[in-house]
Amino acid sequence: MAVVNAVGNSLTGLTGTGAFVGATSPTISRPLINNTISGYSTTATAAGTTTLTVSSNYQQFFTGVTTQTVVMPVTSTLTVGQSWLFVNNSSGIVTVQSSGANSILAMAGGTNSIITCIAQAGTTAADWNAEGTSGVAGVDSITGTANQVIASASVGPVTLSLPQSIATTSDVTFGSVAFSPTTKGVVGTATNDNAAAGYVGEFISSTITSASATAFPGSTGTAQNLTSISLTAGDWDVWGQVGGEITGGFLTALDSGISTTSATLPALELRTQMPFPAATLTLSISPVPYQRLSLSGTTTVYMIIREYFSAGTATMFGGIYARRAR
């Protein structure tokens, strides 16, 4: 039944199915709703895919111990503003995708989010908004005060950028390295421990003591390996010291250097060369020039020594030392 009220009179007690037309807009009080009942679904994660439609329940709960992928409905079938609540009670990652398989959010276990349709332009993640996320896969916890920027894709590692200055009086620790805002430097170790392999400060050495000097295995003037170390890929500072002693004769010269080629002295500018004009010297100790070695793979580095002597038996001692610079 159609009722037309052209003068805006109040109408009461009328029923029917037709249209109501009035010149005066009615005043409608907003209703008070104490609670609503939303549809509820639960899914046990099984490294599978859950595909939602326009009629899927608002509440989507996930349990289990593995991952799950959720595909949102095609936005053209929805109304802008339509949303779903996701609660990940599983221990795996729940990845929410658009209908075009674009990642909207990767939810870690114990997190939740409301995913809302904000456009109907296509099938990408740009048509969706994620709010209220209490955790994202790949981030355990992030604390700080200000000027900290986190940039991350929906899945994968998180990139944390910090400003040049940090307003704090406490040390800031990244992994095993601590920075002190009071001294503006790296905080060193407080005990007699060693940097782990692969970390800046890693130290490797090999030493032949004078008490255990090795016999010179060759004729005078022959370059020989005193000792060696194995260095993994990286940027290394390498240095050393050598000594030579003669029994039954005297030294006339002593050459030494660091080389990546066995029994081969490095270029002249990287050697120590000590001539001895006096025919009385039987012992010599000299430092070996420092070298920076930038290595692309594991490399054997040798301490090379070459003695010239008049007669008798020659022995050698010394060491090679390396510290990872970066």
Cα→Cα distances 7→10, 118, 168, 292, Å? 9, 41, 71, 96
What pLDDT is recorded for position 121?
Answer: 84
- Which among 4-13, 103-112, 229-238, 283-292 has the top mean pLDDT? 229-238
- What is the architecture of the domain spanning 203-324? Sandwich (2.60)
**What is the 3-state composition of the chain as percent helix, strand, coil, each rounded to the nearest 5?**
5, 45, 50
What pLDDT is recorded for position 72?
Answer: 94
- Which among 104-113, 167-176, 232-241, 270-279 has the top mean pLDDT? 232-241
Phi, psi of 83 (to 5 degrees): -140, 165
Which CATH code, of 2.60.120, 1.10.357, 2.40.160, 3.40.50, is assigned to 40-131? 2.60.120
pTM of the model: 0.49
Cα→Cα distances 215→245, 282, 302, 311, Å? 10, 14, 17, 14
Among 55-59, 259-263, 274-278, the least confident range? 274-278
Q: What is the mean pLDDT of residues 72-93?
A: 93
Contact 291, 258 (CB under 8 A): yes
Phi, psi of 21 (to 5 degrees): -125, 125
- Domain chopping of the chain, boundaries: 40-131, 159-188, 203-324
* CATH topology agreement for domains 40-131 and 203-324: yes
Cα→Cα distances 88→58, 113, 130, 140, 149, Å? 14, 9, 14, 15, 26
Among 96-100, 273-277, 302-306, the least confident range? 273-277
Phi-psi region of 312 (alpha: psi -120 to 50; beta: other; left: phi over 0): left
